[in-house]
Chains A and B, each alone.
Chain A
Amino acid sequence: MIEATASGALLRVLNVGVRFGGIVALDDVSFDVPSGSIVGLIGPNGAGKTTLFNCLSRLYQCGSGDIVFDGSSLLSVPRHRVAVIGIGRTFQNLALFRTMTVLENIMVGRHCRTHSGFFVNALRLPAVAREEHATHDSARALLRLLDLESLAGTRVAELPLGTQKRVELARALASEPKLLLLDEPASGLNHEEVGALGKLICDIRERLALTVLLVEHHMSLVMSISDRVVALNFGRKIAEGTPAEVQQHPELLQAYLGSTG
């Protein structure tokens, strides 16, 4: 099934299966995410999209198969090392640090790129002050990139949903990921915001040389920005290809519309 192609694949999902008790959440799913591309992952509720994302973040253990990131298996990487090797993510229902300010949230995003420990922090050695300064500067740069500068000192809990989503994106970018996982970034946004989000994703992909894997229900967004689309239903891959190809796929039409023709 899997061609030995894709020398340029940053992420390879290989025959991944996940079961929860008797329920098959993912069944033998395989696809590649080529380096530098935007891949959309679609499917009805319960299709297994978020399960797959959680496997990529190591929140769930794969029952079978393998996930290869940047040439080596992800399955032996502990959870807190996933960001270090270059996978950043946002969450479906927002997972910000609610008591912190916008700036502090983004600074936590730099955690995996900084190293100072308990002892040197307590003593505030010059190296710590330097590192802290650099963290501050790069967080500020991301605030500018995502148009959040005026909100740096605001607590995230006080912000509207759309803005919180931008903060979460900035926090994910702070870890300098190679692969960015976006879990339903458009949910809860209005029509205009969705349009702006599409542009933003394309823009940061260009600027930061990112590869993006996107789970999204919003079809027009997925179809307009994705280079490739993978469709899941009941834990199985039912279609894969360019947006135009996938849109015509009979099984996908059936999954979404329930039509038999």
Chain B
Amino acid sequence: MSRRSLAGFAILLLLACALPFMVSEYRSFQFTLVLVYAIALLGLNILTGYNGQISLGHGAFYAIGAYCAAILMDKYGVPYWATIPVAGAVCLAAGFLFGLPALRLEGLYLALATFALGVSLPQLLKYHHLEEWTGGVQGITIQKPDAPAFFAEFGLALDQDQWLYLFTLAVAVVMFVLGWNLLRGRIGRAMVAIRDNHVAAEAMGVNNALIKSLAFGVSAMYTGIAGALGAIAVQFVAPDSFNFFLSITLLVGIVIGGLASIPGALYGALFIQFVPNIADEISKAAPWAIFGLFLIGFVYLMPAGVAGAVRMAVARLGRKRQNT
């Protein structure tokens, strides 16, 4: 990476750290959710954008992550931060196991199989034998964590929303750096090779079955970690928060943000967090019609997603600078 882009990232990160001190508590909470969605979208993008496996059921992995965090905190008194790696590990295993039979399915057939997962999980969470853990239809309410005491000792008193935002930001940065490393190297190339031409990929020595099922696992892990962070931020999990609509929203996010793009996950997260609110402000009667207009507008104006449009704008600027 060039020195200039490294400096750009540093400035962006500083701004991101400063954000909760410049906006209201509620906005901090909203931006926390943007980061949560960004992690989930990066996960789905690894699977769908980079590896070419369509998932209409990633809401299920988000739900598993969220319930992991909620159950561990509520029933076992595990500290909130310790639930994140557990949720990640559980979803890695769940995704890998789901990815194995999914190897036999491609394109729309895989989409249907993941759809089945997405629609069935909320009902399974209501299953009365599991109620002891899941709280059934009622769901689980969890406590919002306080900022660690040492911040106050340093004279930096953080409220809960500010702290949760910064905690989520730290997790997001780690997840994005790991994802970027994974995607720019040997494994990332193999994933894209499978998407572009699976016969040729295998002839180059790529173990398609292994890479595809691990991509499923890693993707689910990202989404599950996002689910755990989301549960902590919202302080509540219930089966109906993770319905099929969530899965579709995630898919909307990666397409609008930009398929096979790492920054695209962030753009998509901003879209799915804020555009429904904007639509709601424009028309209380038919917010989804307004949302639909936004969706069509974005797809029409930016066919390669926001990330694609940004890439093109940057390239055009660079050319102009060369000409002058």
Q: Which one, A59, A131, A175, contacts B204 given CB within 8 A?
A: A175
Q: A97-B196, A98-B196, A111-B190 are in contact. Are A80 and B202 (CB under 8 A)?
A: yes
Q: Give the distance in Å from the alpha carbon of A97 to the alpha carbon of B196 in the complex.
A: 5
Q: A91-B200, A111-B206, A135-B186 are in contact. Are A121 and B193 (CB under 8 A)?
A: no
| Interface check A132, CB cutoff 8 A | yes
Q: Map CB proximity to B onto A93-120 as digits: 1 under 8 Å, 0 otherwise.
A: 0011111100010011101111011100
Instruction: Tell whether A128 is near chain B: CB-to-CB under 8 Å.
Output: yes
Task: Please tell me if A23 contacts chain B, counting CB pairs below 8 Å.
Answer: no
Cα distance, A113 to B208, chains bound together (Å): 16
Q: Name the segment of B16-24, B177-185, B224-232 touching the other chain.
A: B177-185
Cα–Cα, bound, A44→B232 (Å) = 68
The residue in chain B whose Cβ has the minimal distance to the Cβ of A83 is: B205
Interface membership of A122, Cβ < 8 A: yes
In contact, B205 and A121 (Cβ under 8 angstroms) = no
| Min CB gap B85→A, angstroms | 14
B112 part of interface (Cβ distance < 8 Å) = no
Q: Are A104 and B189 in contact (CB under 8 A)?
A: yes
Whole-angstrom CA separation of A13 from B224 in the bound complex: 51
State which residues 189-215 of B face A: CB under 8 Å: 189-190, 192-193, 195-197, 199-208, 214
Q: How far is the CA of A79 from the CA of B193 in the complex (A)?
A: 15
The interface residues of chain A lying within 8 Å CB-to-CB of B314 are none
- Complex Cα distance, B201 from A104, in Å, reads 12
CA distance A110 to B203 in the complex (A): 11
For the complex, is B278 an interface residue (Cβ under 8 Å from A)? no
Inter-chain CA distance A104–B50, complex, in Å, is: 14
A89 touches B (CB below 8 Å): yes
Interface of B is mostly: helix
* Minimum CB distance partner of B175 in chain A: A122
Are B181's CB and A122's CB within 8 A? yes
Contact A95 B206, beta carbon cutoff 8 Å: no
With most chain A CB atoms within 10 A of its CB, the pick from B189, B201, B203, B208 is B203
Residues 122-152 of chain A: 1 if any B CB is under 8 Å from the residue's CB, otherwise 0?
Answer: 1110001001100100000000000000000
Complex contact B186–A81 (CB within 8 A): no
Complex formed: what's the CA distance from A132 to B195 in Å?
21
B residues contacting the other copy or chain, number (CB 8 A): 28
Q: Which of B187, B200, B260 contacts A121 (CB 8 A)?
A: B187
Alpha-carbon distance between A91 and B196 when the two chains are bound, in angstroms: 15
Which residues 46-78 of A have a CB within 8 angstroms of B?
57, 59
Q: With the chains together, A97 CA to B203 CA distance in Å?
A: 12
| Given A97-B193, A97-B200, A128-B185, CB of A80 within 8 Å of CB of B208 | yes
B60 within 8 Å of A (CB atoms): no
Cβ-based interface call for B172 (8 A):
no
Q: Kindly state whether residue B218 has any CB partner on chain A within 8 Å.
A: yes
User: Is the Cβ of A80 less than 8 Å from the Cβ of B205?
Assistant: yes
Taking the complex as formed, is A9 at the interface, i.e. its CB lies under 8 A from any CB of chain B?
Answer: no
Contact B192–A121 (Cβ < 8 Å): no
Q: Would you give the shortest CB distance from A160 to chain B, in whole angstroms?
A: 19
Give 1 or 0 for each of B104-138: 1 = CB within 8 Å of chain A CB: 00000000000000000000000000000000000
Task: Assess the B187–A118 pair: CB atoms within 8 A.
Answer: yes
B187 surroundings in chain A (CB, below 8 A): 116-118, 121
Q: Are B196 and A100 neighbours in the complex by a CB distance under 8 Å?
A: yes
Q: How far is the CB of B18 from chain A (nearest CB, A)?
A: 28
- Are the CB atoms of B185 and A121 closer together than 8 Å? yes
Indicate if A225 sits at the interface (CB-CB under 8 A).
no
Q: Of A59, A99, A112, A131, which one neighbours B205 at CB under 8 angstroms?
A: A112
A123 to B204 alpha-carbon distance, docked (Å):
24
Complex contacts, A80 vs chain B, CB 8 Å: 202, 205-208
Pick from B179, B195, B196, B260 the residue with the most CB of A within 10 Å.
B196
Instruction: Report whether A121 and B181 are in contact in the complex, using a CB–CB cutoff of 8 Å.
Output: yes
Residues of B within 8 A of A124 (CB): 181, 185
Closest B residue, CB atoms, query A128:
B185
Q: Across the interface, which residues of A come within 8 angstroms of B195, CB to CB?
A: 99
Chain B: minimal CB distance from A118 (Å): 6
CB distance from A54 to the nearest CB of B (A): 10
Check if A84 is an interface residue, CB within 8 A of chain B.
yes
Bound-state CA distance A79–B205 (Å) is: 8
> Does chain B have a CB within 8 A of A237?
no
Given known A97-B197, A99-B192, contact A79–B202 (CB-CB < 8 A): yes
**Nearest 5 Cβ contacts at the A-B interface:** A112-B205, A83-B205, A95-B200, A97-B196, A124-B181
Residues of chain B whose beta carbon lies under 8 Å from any beta carbon of chain A: 178-179, 181-182, 185-190, 192-193, 195-197, 199-208, 214, 218, 260
Could you jot down 22 A-B contacts, CB within 8 Å?
A57-B203, A79-B203, A80-B205, A81-B205, A83-B203, A83-B204, A91-B199, A96-B200, A97-B196, A97-B201, A108-B189, A108-B204, A109-B204, A116-B186, A117-B187, A118-B187, A122-B178, A123-B181, A128-B185, A135-B186, A175-B204, A175-B205
Inter-chain pairs besides A81-B205, A95-B199, 14 sampled, C-beta below 8 Å: A59-B199, A79-B203, A91-B199, A91-B200, A96-B200, A98-B197, A99-B196, A111-B186, A114-B186, A116-B185, A116-B186, A118-B218, A123-B181, A171-B204
